Amino acid sequence: MGKIFYKGFSTVAFEEKGAFATANIETVKRDLLNHILTEKGERVMMPSFGTRIPMLAFEPNDERTRNVVENDLREVFDYDPRVELLGLKVSSLPDNNTIVAFADLLYIEFDVRETIRIEIPTQG
């Protein structure tokens, strides 16, 4: 493995791999997900940090909700200097009451490109 730029801890990593430690791209992904799942106003002394996404579970699966998801995801990816957003596609899965986003990211220090899938449940 190459040089370690980022270290982190994750209970999810422990459940999957039996270890709490995360490193590099795995840590960046976990940080992005934590940012996405933090409600705006929830973080102490940072009222604009986070997204409205955690509050969308009972919202209709419509264009307004998709726009909220897209705008908030763009803010998260623009906030983190470790990634560059190359493309973002947000669409509905009305049969599953889900909005799904595909974010094409470049992890800058590693020169690695990856598409991540983010699912947001809605009321339908």
How many of the other CB atoms lie within 10 Å of CB of 27? 20
Tens-of-pLDDT digits for all 124 residues of the chain?
A: 567 666 666 666 556 666 666 668 888 999 999 999 999 999 899 999 999 999 998 889 899 999 999 999 999 999 999 999 999 999 998 787 899 999 999 999 899 999 999 999 887 6
CB 72 within 8 A of CB 52: yes
CB 52 within 8 A of CB 68: yes
In this structure, CATH architecture of domain 7-121: Roll (3.10)
How is 35-99 classified by DSSP, letter by letter? Answer: HHTSBTT-STT-TT-SBSGGG-TTS-SSHHHHHHHHHHHHHHHHH-TTEEEEEEEEEEEGGGTEE
CB 103 within 8 A of CB 118: yes
